[in-house]
Structure 1
Amino acid sequence: MADVDHQTSPHVSADSTEQSNQACKVAFSEDEETLITRMYNLVGERWSLIAGRIPGRTAEEIKIYWTSRYSITQ
């Protein structure tokens, strides 16, 4: 049973990390950035609504873009 847990945990973590890294590498155009900012001001952190306005973008990509660009770390 320990072998099963050991085999599945790294696989899940690797996939999650890989998806996050891919999303961070995706460039956003100036128009997309402007639209994300406007939509965020209107609807807040409703990433799926924002992504629905930008063809080809996922809610996860929008969220990662926003938090990497505008999060405040102290």
Structure 2
Amino acid sequence: MADSKHSTSPCRDALDNPQVLDTEMEQKLEKKIEFSDDEESLIIRMYNLVGERWHLIAGRIPGRTAQEIQKYWNSRYSTSE
């Protein structure tokens, strides 16, 4: 039988190093961010009204977090100067 002391799992690694979990979640988030046309339209309208108050915008879109919306906005509409 294998020695459980030497076996590792992603859950165990995440418990030992919380940054591993954050990195994995962030990578999944970046790959997965897709918004419907209605969501995109609402984000644009809300941004014009309230600016970069991502939590307020997220409050109007069920199932979306402020972080998701901010990353989406920055990847789609940010300007590099």
User: Is the structural similarity TM-score above 0.5?
Assistant: yes
- Which consecutive aligned stretches of 4+ in structure 1 deviate over 6 angstroms post-superposition? none
- The structure where helix makes up a greater share of residues is 1
Aligned residue among 43, 47, 54 for 2:61: 54
Whole-angstrom distance in 2 between the partners of 1:65 and 1:42? 18
Structure 1 unaligned runs (5+)? 1-6
- Describe the SS at the equivalent of 1:27: coil
Percent identity among equivalent residues?
59
CA RMSD of aligned residues (A): 2.1
Number of residue-to-residue matches in the alignment: 67
The structure whose RCO (Cα within 8 Å, separation 6+) is larger is 1
1:15 maps onto 2:11 in alignment: no
Structure 2 unaligned runs (5+)? 1-12
1:70 maps onto 2:53 in alignment: no
What TM-score does the superposition give when structure 1 sets the normalisation length?
A: 0.75
What TM-score does the superposition give when structure 2 sets the normalisation length?
A: 0.70
Q: Which has the larger radius of gyration?
A: 2
